[in-house]
A and B are shown apart, each in its own frame.
Chain A
Amino acid sequence: MASVSFSHIEKSFGSTKVIHGIGFDIADGEFMVLVGPSGCGKSTLLRMLAGLEEITGGVIAIDGKEVNDVESKDRDIAMVFQSYALYPHMTVADNMAFSLKLRKADPKMIAERVDKASKILNLDPYLHRFPRELSGGQRQRVAMGRAIVRDPKVFLFDEPLSNLDAKLRVAMRAEIKALHQRLKTTTVYVTHDQVEAMTMADRIVVMHDGRIEQIGTPLELYDRPGNLFVAQFIGSPAMNVVQGTVRRAGGTAHVDVEGGGSWPLDGGPGVDGQAVSYGIRPEHLTLASGGNGVPGQIIVVEPTGAETELLISVGASQVILRTHGRPRVNPDEKVHLAVDPANVHLFDRTSGQRLAA
């Protein structure tokens, strides 16, 4: 087990710079998820840690030792690939034993390790099958088994669940998390799926265009997104955001929205006349009774069973409301929205940064 640290990491492909000076630390035993839209540099960062890409600038250290010029095989890491990358001509057992055989480990020890890993992953019945005879989920488990037998300092996962169907993905997500809780090996996990990031991570690094937007625990990112990008990236459905101007002079504080509508504010940040992005999560909107609140009109009602999502037009903008109830409303119906100002997120319009009180 080990800690990992990135400092001032830069990466260029030719003259194109894809990572612009990134630095953060991963604690021993931590499950760190790198998340961001495609092209944000998260996979490149992981591949640099794996030793599959040259590091253009900065230092990567594992357990306090710089590994920039250390070969992949000597970094004591194991990686699980999106495509599984199992050796097609080897059985499950041989796939798992391959790295130990290359290291000329004692055959008895190899057998023990493979046996142990296959028990953890429920792969015993398949040890003598070839990868082509396995389902997607089983192949993914073999790829994990191959990583486990190494007993490495760090596990690296590169979008390991992207090739699986939705149901299996949820199951494997829980399996990987349970595995981490059992082995407590430092893990770096790359995904573009924010739900995966939220459910699995101890901490999340949100990346965008080769820069870090925010680092924090899943709930920190959800409850206090540091900027507009994080606010809209984390959470599904995404946070409602409308553009407006803060009005504090005379009467109650509110935000005047361009194209009509007015949303309430409390005594928090935002000075009179400031141009802001006003954010509110779908579950923090409720239908108000008695004609108070922000007036709107239902566009679409989407029942999912446990929850109902309403798409509502307010002035020129549209917002989504999510409720656990089953409201009796119909499209085109006029409604009023209640907002608790304590749940409102305000961001500076130009910089996109969160406004703090």
Chain B
Amino acid sequence: MKLRQVTAEAKLLLIGIPVLIWTMLPIYHLFLFAISPKDQAMGGQLWPDKPTLHNFEVVFLQQHHYLNFFWLQMWNSLVIAVAAGLITLMVATGAAFAISRLKVRGGRMAMNLALLTYFIPAAFLAVPMYKTMGVYGLLNNQWSLILAMVTIATPYSIWVLKQASDKLPFELDEAAKIDGASPLQLFRLVYLPLMTPSLVAVGTYALLLAWNEYLYAFLLLSSERDITLGVALGNFLAADDSPWELLMTTGLIYALPPAAIYYTFKRYMVGGLTAGAVKS
């Protein structure tokens, strides 16, 4: 018995260690760049001779022309991601409640149609989306990116939330109905509290999706004051002599909030996103 546990553990480690190295290596590289002085950045050493925090200083004080709007762009990223997360949550929760609990006629079909959009790669939809936003007069307006992200995140979110709400016993709704709850009270007082783990998971998913978005952000926003930090990072590459150490430093900073969010909500993430995937 003991031996078997040891072998099982060893097998896991055998897979785990390479995976860890594989995923951590680029991040370590990123980190290495960020703490290296400019002339040593490309040296290929495992640890710089003179590690420095100078790059962070340059970024935070916006002391390079690529970084003139660092804080504003960071703020843009944050506002857009949070807005996309919240709006996706509102739309998807309402839809899932209507489809799963109120059993609105045609609800399932609406959800399946929404999921069908995933058959078309998001990149193909970029141009039509650009056109649509133009028609609405939203180009170069951050709402265009927020709405685009909501559009992309919503079908999956509805599906996840619907699966999760299907697992709530229907007697709860009936009990609440007899107790005198209107559909809105049922939603607010019974449904939302019980769905919290899934709501956190889905909200985080949409938030990170928007935070990490590049293509749509690049297309829909153009003013330096409107773009997200992700797009700003891409602009570094426009020059022949890109300041790699600053690009990597900014990238590292840009990667921290998602990591923090994921870490905070991780107990909801796995359970929430797979809720209803299998019969328990």
Contacts and interface: CB of A to CB of B under 8 A. Distances in A.
Q: Do A and B bind each other?
A: yes
Residue with the highest number of chain A CB atoms closer than 10 Å, among B174, B175, B193: B175
B121 interface: no
Contact of A85 (B175, B180, B181, B193): B175
Interface string B125-143: 0000000000000000000
Interface stretch (A98-106, A111-119, A177-185, A198-206): A98-106
Given A73-B178, A85-B171, 7 more contacts: A50-B174, A50-B178, A51-B177, A79-B175, A85-B174, A87-B172, A146-B175
Interface of A: 50-52, 72-73, 77-79, 81-83, 85, 87-89, 98-99, 102-103, 146, 150
B194 A89 contact: yes
Interface string B160-199: 0000000001011011111111000100011001100000
Contacts of A85: 169, 171-172, 174-175
A81 B194 contact: no
Chain A to chain B: the 8 pairs with minimum beta-carbon distance, closest first:
A99-B179, A85-B171, A73-B180, A85-B175, A102-B180, A89-B193, A81-B171, A72-B178
B167 to A, nearest CB: 12
21 contacts: A50-B174, A72-B177, A73-B178, A73-B179, A73-B181, A79-B178, A81-B171, A81-B174, A81-B175, A82-B171, A85-B169, A85-B171, A85-B172, A85-B174, A87-B190, A88-B194, A98-B179, A98-B189, A102-B179, A102-B185, A146-B179
Interface in B181-240: 181, 185, 189-190, 193-194
A102 B181 contact: yes
B174 A52 contact: yes
Given A85-B172, A89-B194, A78 B181 contact: no
B172 to A, nearest CB: 5
Contacts of B175: 79, 81, 85, 87, 146
Contacts of B177: 51-52, 72-73
Contacts of A102: 179-181, 185
Nearest to B168: A88
A23 B172 CA distance: 30
A208 B111 CA distance: 40
Nearest to B193: A89
Contacts of A72: 177-178
Contacts of B172: 85, 87
A146 B176 CA distance: 11
Of listed B171, B174, B180, B185, residue having the most chain A CB within 10 A? B180
A63 B194 CA distance: 37
A73 B181 CA distance: 8
Interface in B72-87: none
A97 to B, nearest CB: 10
A99 B189 CA distance: 12
A72 B179 CA distance: 8
A151 to B, nearest CB: 13
A189 B45 CA distance: 79
Nearest to B194: A89
Contacts of B190: 87
B189 to A, nearest CB: 8
B37 to A, nearest CB: 55
Contacts of B178: 50-52, 72-73, 77-79, 99
B196 to A, nearest CB: 8
Nearest to B174: A52
A85 B177 CA distance: 12
B188 to A, nearest CB: 11
A99 B174 contact: no
Contacts of A99: 178-180
Task: Pick from B172, B178, B194 the residue with the most CB of A within 10 Å.
Answer: B178
